């Protein structure tokens, strides 16, 4: 059967369209909307009833990180406006790995690793959404429920016939890999087909009509929209958010010390608070709009602060963002710990602590090792540069001697306070 060309209305967000739905208006105002399929029709659907929308998370690690926050906050915003968020865990697609804009294939995980990662991701998302059985309560599903039983011939006949190899080769994510002569396995090439199948399956099972994703997922999302139209004759929608980088061009969710995890066991609430506190001045307004729920007029006031006053806006950003994930009590405790550490120079008990063997301290603990063990430097070389730059401190006193050795005499209230600059602190505790 001849397939007519793909002609659905896919474009960047159209600022000339005055959205009627409260969700779209706020999503646009806060900076979530980058691309959208048939924005007017989506606006009508959102204005005339409850829409179910989903975002997928592959289970490649046991925790999500700040780089996932755009999608999580988008689901949260959707629910606040009376619609239903659906969280899709990629128990099936994780076995393949999304090749989008990756320089090499992902390492394949075992079923046991994927199951453990799913548990961690489920725990990450629960603070953000209200789960239940009501019409706007969030639902969590696993695509392994249908992909594990999908036959190869079935997928070729039902779905594969609707995909053009020429078009798939035109996807930016695929073309980038091929242009770099890094290759793309047949396993990875099937990822887009399975993601499209997910959209159709969620539409059939749960009535999902909207898929969220980052702008790097645009090709995969519109493939799913097209599949549902071709096979089921239904209109569904795609919505992408911009990929967030900092004003200096750094990738959101990554720091020199690694990923900014959402799991408290991997990154303490205090360190999570510090991540947001260290936001660049130029990013404060944007991050307040995206990662907090403060009113937009209040955000405008905070973003307009200048000079030293912008630091107060950063503290509010840190407390609001940390409160959504870890709870208000933990957020305010982190803010108070920071205040005591920075403004009063105290070694607050609630600062992140690192254990060190008492025998090692008794023998004389080299300052370079102390800084690396505490996570304030990634190597001895970085620790030396920190000292030479005047950024290393022990109990609030600057360190100038790279050969310094710490001893039990440096303990204050059972711990040694180590600092890297004014914002990073650790308590070294002998055990």
Place of tokens 């840190």: 318
| Beta strand pairing call for 365-366 and 405-406 | antiparallel
| Beta strand pairing call for 84-90 and 139-142 | parallel
Residue 54 marked ligand-binding: yes
| Beta strand pairing call for 210-214 and 237-241 | parallel
The two tokens of residue 42 are 């989506």
Q: Which residues does 127 contact at the CB level (< 8 Å), separation at least 6?
A: 324, 325, 326, 327
Q: Where are the alpha helices (DSSP H) in 90-164?
A: 111-125, 144-147, 152-158
Residue 152 marked ligand-binding: no
* CB atoms near residue 315 (< 10 Å): 16
- From CA 288, how far away is CA 245, in angstroms rounded? 14
3-state secondary structure of 377: coil
Cα–Cα distances (Å) from 326 to 16, 271, 333, in that order, read 38, 12, 11
Residue 61's φ and ψ, nearest 5 degrees, are: -145, 165
Residue 254 marked ligand-binding: yes
- From CA 384, how far away is CA 240, in angstroms rounded? 44
The two tokens of residue 343 are 């403004």
- From CA 155, how far away is CA 374, in angstroms rounded? 51
Binding-site positions for L-tyrosine read 54, 191, 195
Which residue ranges make up the annotated binding site?
54, 191, 195, 254
Q: Which residues are annotated as a binding site for ATP?
A: 254
């Amino acid at each position: 059967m001849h397939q007519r060309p793909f002609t659905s209305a896919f474009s960047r967000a159209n600022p000339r369209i005055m959205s009627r739905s409260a969700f779209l208006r706020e999503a646009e105002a806060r900076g979530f909307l980058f691309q959208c399929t048939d924005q007017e029709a989506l606006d009508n659907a959102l204005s005339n009833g409850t829409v179910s929308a989903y975002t997928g998370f592959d289970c490649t690690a046991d925790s999500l990180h700040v780089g996932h926050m755009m999608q999580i906050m988008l689901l949260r915003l959707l629910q606040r406006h009376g619609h239903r968020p659906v969280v899709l865990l990629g128990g099936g697609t994780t076995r393949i790995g999304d090749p989008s804009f990756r320089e090499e294939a992902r390492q394949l995980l075992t079923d046991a690793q994927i199951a453990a990662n799913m548990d961690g991701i489920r725990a990450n998302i629960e603070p953000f959404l209200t789960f239940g059985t009501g019409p706007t309560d969030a639902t969590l599903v696993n695509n392994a429920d249908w992909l594990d039983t999908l036959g190869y011939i079935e997928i070729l006949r039902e779905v594969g016939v609707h995909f053009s190899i020429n078009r798939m080769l035109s996807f930016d994510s695929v073309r980038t890999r091929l242009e770099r002569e890094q290759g793309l396995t047949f396993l990875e090439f099937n990822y887009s087909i399975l993601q499209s199948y997910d959209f159709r399956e969620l539409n059939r099972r749960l009535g999902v009509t909207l898929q969220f994703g980052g702008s790097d997922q645009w090709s995969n999302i519109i493939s799913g929209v097209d599949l549902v139209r071709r096979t089921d004759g239904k209109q569904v929608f795609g919505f992408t958010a911009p990929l967030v980088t900092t004003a200096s061009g750094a990738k959101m969710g990554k720091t020199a010390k690694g990923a900014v995890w959402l799991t408290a066991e991997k990154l303490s609430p205090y360190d999570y608070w510090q991540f947001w506190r260290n936001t660049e001045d130029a990013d404060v307004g944007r991050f307040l709009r995206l990662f907090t729920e403060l009113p937009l007029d209040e955000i405008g006031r905070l973003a307009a602060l200048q000079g030293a006053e912008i630091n107060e806006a950063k503290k509010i950003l840190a407390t609001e963002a940390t409160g959504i994930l870890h709870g208000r009590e933990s957020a305010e405790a982190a803010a108070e710990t920071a205040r005591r550490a920075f403004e009063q120079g105290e070694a607050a008990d609630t600062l992140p602590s690192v254990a060190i063997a008492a025998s090692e301290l008794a023998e004389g603990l080299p300052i370079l090792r102390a800084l690396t063990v505490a996570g304030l430097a990634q190597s001895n070389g970085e620790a030396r540069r920190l000292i030479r730059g005047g950024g290393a401190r022990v109990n609030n006193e600057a360190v100038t001697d790279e050969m310094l050795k710490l001893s039990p005499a440096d303990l204050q209230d059972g711990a040694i306070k180590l600092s890297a600059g004014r914002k990073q602190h650790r308590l070294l505790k002998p055990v």
